[in-house]
Amino acid sequence: MTPSPGGAALELGASAPLSEPTPLIPPSKQGSLFWRIRGMIRTVRPSQWVKNLFVLAPVVFAKHLTHPSIIKSAIGAFGVFCLLAGAVYTMNDLVDAKADRVHPVKRFRPIASGQVPVSVAKVMAVLLVLTALGGAAFGPWQFFVVALAYFTQNVAYSFGLKKIAYVDVGLIALGFVLRVLAGGFATKTPISGFMVACTALLALFLGFGKRRHELASAANAGKQRAALEAYSPRALTLALAATGVATIATYLAYTLDHDTQRFFDNPWLWVTTIHPLFGVVRFLQLVVSRPKAESPTQEILRDVPFMMNIMIWVAEVVFIVYRLRPS
């Protein structure tokens, strides 16, 4: 019931249909310039740039968050990898356009659907790479080499190696390790072997989860991703179990390591292991329960329990590393 200006009640029925609220940003007309620009933004996947937060991991665990000059270098490195990631996503969609057109969800991607012309996408990729590597050249030479290695590895992935089962997931994991190494080199921060191992295992876990989801949800897996023909549900399930357990165990071993506890002057970092454990379990639930989603790694960014767990974990780590002191 809605009160009328005169105080009487007006019943909402067939004669007074409800209208949908006007969106804050109205959709652009198909074929217009703004419609093309929206497609270009979607192509570089800014929502996926959260993965580049791995570049900042060495700074956090080295207790450097209170050093402005180091933070400035870390943010610069993060920006370089965001630009490189945008270039890589654009190249990947260019190569996959034909396969994406037969996928129930990916066919709506801007390049596959024609929202972004192929010629425009190629120019985008070149400009993003030149800008990113140009920015990387202002940092330490080791950082530039890692950034170049990251781009080269992704080119090899996009143009052939992603068709080889297990090699494709291994290259995804290598990309995350390179992000961590880049963060360390950009800020001249030492990186522990535990951090590298944990990053690699976590990335393998996420990669196998993505392949398991694709294999279960794809009606014609081979046409959508060539490597899926060589995977089996049983093998991927075992790989998920092994890498998930290994990730949690490695993180726990890091928190209990004598050098770690001495460096942080605190023995309580191990209590945060509950959050990686929850994250692993929740990711497995998303892989199984949302078969129609484009990717479980995208779903975790929309999943409230998963994101809340991440935020609480980060808050606890920062509090324990930077605030707590032994009595």
pLDDT for position 31: 66
The SS3 call for residue 74 is helix
Q: Is the pLDDT of residue 273 over 90?
A: yes
In this prediction, what percent of the chain has a pLDDT beyond 70?
A: 85
d(CA 12, CA 163): 57
The SS3 call for residue 258 is helix
The closest of 90, 12, 85, 98 to 48, measured between CA atoms, is 85
H/E run at residue 280: helix 274-289
Q: Is the pLDDT of residue 90 over 80?
A: yes
d(CA 111, CA 96): 9
d(CA 38, CA 115): 9
pLDDT for position 4: 43
The SS3 call for residue 29 is coil
d(CA 188, CA 169): 29
pLDDT for position 317: 86
Summarize the confidence of residues 145-164 as an average pLDDT.
Answer: 90
d(CA 209, CA 42): 24
Q: Which of 19-23, 294-298, 302-306 shows the highest mean pLDDT?
A: 302-306
b (16+ CB within 10 A) / e for 16-52: eeeeeeeeeeeeeeeeeeeebebbbebbbbeebbebb
d(CA 107, CA 309): 32
Let me know the angle formed at the C-alpha of 178 by 172 and 183, rounded to the nearest 5 degrees: 135
d(CA 289, CA 283): 10
Contacts 24+ apart (CB under 8 A), 168-173: 168/207, 168/211, 168/227, 169/204, 169/207, 169/208, 169/211, 170/204, 172/203, 172/204, 172/206, 172/207, 173/199, 173/200, 173/201, 173/203, 173/204, 173/207
Task: Kindly indicate the confidence band of residue 261, based on its pLDDT and cuts at 50, 70 and 90.
Answer: confident
Alpha helices in 44-158 (DSSP H): 57-61, 68-100, 110-113, 118-136, 141-158
pLDDT for position 281: 93
Please give the full DSSP string across 214-240, using - where no structure is assigned.
HHHH-SSHHHH-GGGGG--HHHHHHHH
Task: Kindly indicate the confidence band of residue 14, based on its pLDDT and cuts at 50, 70 and 90.
Answer: very low
The closest of 173, 251, 176, 156 to 211, measured between CA atoms, is 173
H/E run at residue 253: helix 233-256
Q: Is the pLDDT of residue 171 over 70?
A: yes
pLDDT for position 223: 55
Please, what is the average pLDDT of the chain?
84
Q: For 181-229, how does the pLDDT look when each residue is reduced to its tens digit (9 = 90+)?
A: 999 999 999 898 999 999 999 999 999 998 888 887 765 555 556 777 7
Task: Kindly indicate the confidence band of residue 3, based on its pLDDT and cuts at 50, 70 and 90.
Answer: very low
